[in-house]
Amino acid sequence: MERARLVLRSVAPFLVALPVLWFVQGSLASYTSFVAINIAVNVILAVSLNVVNGFTGQFSIGHAAFMAVGAYTAALVTTGLESLAIPGVPAAVSGQAVFLVALAVGMLAASVAGLVVGIPTLRLRGDYLAIVTLGFGEIIRVIIENTRVLGQATGISGLPACTNVVWAGMGVVLTVVMARRLLQSTQGRALLAIREDEVAAEAMGVDTVGWKVRAFVISAAFAGLAGALLVHKIQLVTPRMFTFVKSMEVVVMVVLGGMGSITGSIVAAAVLTIALETLQAADQYRMVIFSMLLIVLMLTRPSGLFGTREIWDVLPRWRRRRAPGEAP
Amino acid sequence: MTEFLQHVVNGVSLGTIYALIALGYTMVYGVLKLINFAHGDVYMVAAFSGFYIATGLGVRDDPTVGKAVAVFLGSMVVAGALGWAIERFAYRPLRNRPRLATLITAIGVSFLLEYGFQLPSLQAQGRSLEEVLRGWGWTVPGWFDALVTALPSTFPPGPTPRFFPEPFTRVDWTVLGGVHISNYDVVSFLVAFAFMLGLQWIVYRTRFGMAMRAVSFDPRVAGLMGIPVNRVISTTFVLGSVLAAVAALLVAGSRPRIDPIMGLMPGLKAFVAAVFGGIGNVPGAMLGGLVLGLAEEMVAGYTVSSFRDGIAFAILILVLLVRPEGLLGRVTVEKV
């Protein structure tokens, strides 16, 4: 019975979301759906980065690099298999199937990249991860700009426009369910223990290096998913889309929303995306504002707006329902 | 053989620069256990303040030794002050918080400097503000216009690179049958070496150095023993920043292109050098810098030159895998 309930909790969001998204998609104007997909991509990025930076207490600042790995891999798959039609299936359906494969391959490639970066780095203290991910972002850019297959600096254009509100929305559901189920599992507890005190966690028998690497790989895979979704909306992939600025955007979303808070990340990602969309004119001030926001936030409210709490812990009317002392 | 010697010369000249920057990382890490992300940007600010001072003194038209010294001292003062301010206002308030908070702030400071320097000049910003106000139908008062005109038109410098004026005429010598060596290489090596010797003397032969090593060993006990921990940490930041300024000016003398993100790559590589030598270890940083400079030059010389930037990270990954405490570092066990 318990098992069935848990399975239902993982599956139900998908079953509910699919028809809702289908319905919503038909009623959105093209600009609104563009912004909605942008928000969805940023939510996936923020929630997945939260797995490393928030749950596990490590600090990665190279999320855009994994996004790039996923995006380029998926782009190669969709452009390579574009002409391929599965016999006996309508073209639209086979296109969608190819896109699904592309997303999966993109996630896989990004997680392999995460493994390569994570294994040597995460054996040490968290500070090293920050600097290595920073360097990794730079290396990925250099590699892309020097590889002919990846279109060098101009990138690959003319990708099929596969991403729509349904795909992006299902990506969000997948990410959020993953993060939420992870947080409530034994494995999630291990991650939280590492965040709170790595030495104590190790003393309690938690395989700290193993769990840090796993969290990092999961996070990288979902960054790859976000990248693959994004480039199949704008039908173009260039190295300039995945710079430090993008990584920092995601870091700001996670820090702003509260490290360890899933709903905090979602709200911060949505708010920040809309703010950036409306403040296009002030583009050159974007990074200055982000960095000041980071400094001020750390000096005044170092745990972010929500801290590790979820949004329903903060809203007073909902909090009363929860018995005092109950674990979040 | 000649080619090899030429690479050695270039590698040592690059390596001394990395060593100077790495010293700043390693000293700050020693006393605070913090990777000072903004260190590479202090280096950049030092290069720009040198540029502004040199432009103000008219070094381009009439370079003299006196002016070169003035540029050097001036930018060392600016960098030292910046290092002090970063520690005082961004890091000290977070001293007792989790280390992650300080790390995030350090990244914030770094990006603030990098992107703040890429903004259009203050005067141009004032002008565009006036445009916006006029667009809303407001009239811009005369005093505001005068204020905007009085703002500097060259600061912040913006993203386009500037060219550092030559402090003295370049002379190239050919020695040992074909190895090129310029007076810049010689001066830069001597200056860097002198500063490293000076630092070595400060750290191991003076009362302040002893206090610094005590803070590095255990800040709480050092405080109980009557050592002014805050002052020691501030001075460490100033020392590190001054060394970064020296490195910046030595680089700007021979490779005059300077821009707001010039600190990023040298900063990362110097950090690698510090880790390689054993972070927190002063002679280790010097050794690491030299080895990294030589390795980079050899790789660029004998294989593909675009691998140059990759070698530092390859070394970093290798060190982290094989010997995380670095060449000269001691193995430390994390205790509760």
What is the domain count for chain B?
A: 1
B313–A134 CB contact, under 8 Å: no
Task: State residue A121's pLDDT score.
Answer: 84
Closest CB to B111 among A127, A199, A287: A287
For chain A, give every domain's residue range. Answer: 13-241
User: What residues in A contact B310, CB-CB < 8 Å?
Assistant: 139, 142
Q: What is the DSSP letter of B305?
A: G
pLDDT for B20 equals 92
Identify the pLDDT of residue B223: 93
End-to-end CA distance of chain A: 23
Contact A162, A10 (CB under 8 A): no
CATH number for the domain including B80? 1.10.3470
- Give the pLDDT confidence score for residue B176 in this predicted structure: 74
If contacts are CB pairs under 8 Å, which of residues 28-87 in chain A contact chain B? Answer: 57, 59, 61
User: What pLDDT sits at residue A326?
Assistant: 47
Q: Name the DSSP class of B260.
A: T
Range of the domain at B213: 2-119+156-322
The pLDDT of residue B335: 54
pLDDT above 70 (res A15): yes
* Token pair of A117 as six digits: 């970066």
Percent share of chain A, pLDDT over 70: 92
The pLDDT-based confidence of A149 (bands split at 50, 70, 90) is confident
* Whether A161 contacts chain B with CB within 8 A: no
Cα angle for residues B209, B215, B217 (degrees, 5° grid): 105
Beta pairing, strands B257-258 & A236-237: unpaired
In a domain, B128, yes or no: no
Q: Give the nearest partner residue to B268 out of A57, A134, A292, using CB atoms.
A: A134
Cβ within 8 Å, pair A299-B100: no
Please tell me whether residue B175 adopts helix, strand or coil conformation. strand
The residue with greater pLDDT, B190 or A309, is B190
CA distance B174 to B176: 7
- Per-residue pLDDT 10s for chain B (336 aa) are 788 888 898 899 899 999 999 998 899 888 888 888 899 999 999 999 999 999 888 888 888 888 889 999 999 999 999 999 999 999 999 888 877 788 888 888 998 999 899 888 888 888 888 888 888 888 888 888 888 888 888 888 888 888 988 877 778 888 877 888 888 888 888 988 898 889 889 999 999 999 999 998 888 999 999 999 999 999 999 999 999 999 999 998 888 889 998 888 888 889 889 888 888 888 889 899 999 999 998 888 887 776 677 778 778 878 877 887 888 877 666 555
Alpha helix ranges (H) inside B58-98:
65-85
Least-confidence region, from A125-129, A236-240, B62-66: A125-129
Confidence grade of residue A300 (pLDDT, cut at 50, 70, 90): confident
Q: Min CA distance, A21 vs chain B (Å)?
A: 37
CA dihedral of residues B89, B93, B94, B96 (deg, nearest 10): 150
**Average pLDDT rounded to a whole number, residues A158-168:** 81
pLDDT value at residue A88: 67
Spatial separation of the C-alpha atoms in residues A95 and A89, rounded to whole Å: 10
